A and B are shown apart, each in its own frame.
Chain A
C-alpha cells in the first residue's frame, strides 16, 4: 500500500529565502504524486502533480517539485518565499486510479 512521509511538521523561513518542504513516498508501482496547499480558513487546492511525464514539475505561485525515483522523494521548493505563501502543505500519493493518500502536512511560516 502507498504511504507518504512529510519531514517536518513546521517549517519557518524568512521572506525572500528558499522554501524546501520534504516529502518521501512508498509505492509498489510507479506513483502519481501531488502537492496540495491549504491557506488559513480555506479548503485544499492543487499546487502541482507528477504523473510520469517530466520529473521536474512546475506548479502555481512559483512552486516546483522534482520526482526522484532513486530517493523515493518529491520535495517541494520555491526560490524566494513570500508572505502569502504561509499555509499548510500536503504531499499525496496514489497508485494509478487508486485512492489518494496524504501526508501529515507541513505548516509553513514566513518571517518578515
Chain B
C-alpha cells in the first residue's frame, strides 16, 4: 500500500481481556517498529523487526506483550490480560533498512487502546 496501515484505529476492552493490534507496512520496507505513546509521555520503543534477523524485543514492558511478523510483512502486537496502564496509542512504523531511506520512518495513524 501507499502508507502504513494499522487496525483497529480504536479499541475499547475490559481489563483482563487479550487484544491484537495489526500493522501492514509499506511494501518493500524491511524494518518494522512498534512504539507506544501514552498521554503526556514520549514515544516508548517496544519492538523492532529487521528483515530475517531476530527481533529486538528489549522495549516490551512485560511478558504480557508479544509481537510477530509473518512473512516479513504484516505484524501483530498482542497484549494479554490487559491492564488499565496499557491504555495508550500504539504506533507502528516501517522503513527501508539501508541507503538514504534507512531509519526514515513512515508512521501509521496508530491504534488507540482504552482498557476499562
Question: Is A100 a contact partner of B33 (Cβ separation < 8 A)?
Answer: yes
How far is A33 from B113 in the complex, measured between Cα atoms in Å?
30
Question: Is A104 a contact partner of B104 (Cβ separation < 8 A)?
Answer: no
Q: Which single residue of chain B is at the shortest CB-CB distance from A107? A: B40
How far is A44 from B43 in the complex, measured between Cα atoms in Å?
10
- Select the residue from A36, A99, A101, A104 with max chain B CB neighbours within 10 A: A99
Q: Is A45 an interface residue (CB 8 A)?
A: yes
- With A97-B50, A105-B43 in contact, is A43–B104 under 8 Å at CB? no
- With A34-B103, A102-B42, A103-B42 in contact, is A43–B33 under 8 Å at CB? no
How far is A100 from B47 in the complex, measured between Cα atoms in Å?
11
Question: Is B56 a contact partner of A99 (Cβ separation < 8 A)?
Answer: yes
> What range describes how many residues of A lie at the interface?
20 to 34
Q: Is A25 an interface residue (CB 8 A)?
A: no
Q: Is A83 an interface residue (CB 8 A)?
A: no
**Would you give the shortest CB distance from B57 to chain A, in whole angstroms?**
11
Question: Is A43 a contact partner of B107 (Cβ separation < 8 A)?
Answer: yes
Residues of chain B contacted by A104 (CB below 8 angstroms): 41-42
- Select the residue from B45, B56, B108 with max chain A CB neighbours within 10 A: B45
**Would you give the shortest CB distance from A96 to chain B, in whole angstroms?**
8
How far is A32 from B102 in the complex, measured between Cα atoms in Å?
10
